[in-house]
Structure 1
């Protein structure tokens, strides 16, 4: 099963992701072994801190060339922080859309509660771009705000959840959030959010695919990890996936 990752930090030495070229090679080796065939490089853009896209774009191009050596197609992108300076960043076009198409990956500050200002920023960005909201399961440390998440979907935003959350790498609460979003049909895409070559947030999409396809209809998991990511890369419309649990008799061991 071929897989696609639309959220990654392989472009080395420009954010908190892959540190150097050697680690990028190690991570790409693991990605190849995980049968990841397409990767969107989405380095962090933090308005107020990131002022020049030239180095970021150059490093993304370096990554795309390197990925070819591993039989992987690379694409440009970015992960834009919706912070208090982001509207200035929007005015200055401090954004790299996914594959230079309509979709932009955005995130909220994990250390702050999502408030009215955050939602205003989301709205302003949505006037110019189709938004993919990164790792939604990680913003809610108590209970998921299902009303808020449903409103995002109704507004046309794409909900992305990290593969590592299903594996429990981010703790039991975040794992519970991920499964709840999955079973309520509130996820459009599962992505890796690769930051390292090993230990934590390393390439693990196939591991997650194998885990989930033992419990849910395989075609649904394929939608989340191949069909919808490919549609996003190609700038096409995607819908949240209504997953169906397998009966105990049909589950793979």
Structure 2
């Protein structure tokens, strides 16, 4: 008896169905590589790029926090600088020979209030509980996805450097010259600290721009490998549908012929 096997017709149809199922999965997830089975080498590259993208994103958050810290510290120093300048102005005013002792007490009263403001500003200039102007140290921020990529903000004990200004008392023996020298030294100290913070803030902002561009480039590279080309996928789906219908027609004809042969032989 002659046997017309159906396996030869089923094999192409099965392959087409498998391709169609795989394509539908890609369309569902909008990815042409969903796991290592699709493309092992591509999946490894995607995993590395994803790690880099996530690392850059977190590093960018760190950098923005660093910028905020620098801005808070610089703002505190700016306020202190204003108070020191006012103390210097009052010191100059106290050097007027026509002032009475009562006038000088009134001037000293304002100087004392400004000194208290300075101390309060130093104490209250913090970020997330970290003192920025009352302790010597540094705050380190990871500014890249890899090792040895960090930026530090130096914190200072400003109060210890402003002792001369904080002890000015024109009613208790502090001369105009001594007060002016203390104020000038304080202004220089504050200016230096603000300059350091400004330079550090510029480093953070440069790192933020670099990380942002790197993340865009890395995400685009990952997308080219991972994401599905919908136009191409839909076209392939239509082609698979045609091939599937053709395979079904061939299979039906083969089954019909097999039935006819068996009928003749019986």
Bin the TM-score by the shorter chain. under 0.3
- Relative to the length of structure 2, the TM-score reads 0.22
TM-score normalised to the size of structure 1? 0.22
Larger radius of gyration: 2
Greater share of helix residues, 1 or 2? 2
Please state which structure has a larger fraction of its residues in strand.
Answer: 1
Which fold has the larger relative contact order, with Cα–Cα distance below 8 Å and residues 6 or more apart in sequence? 2
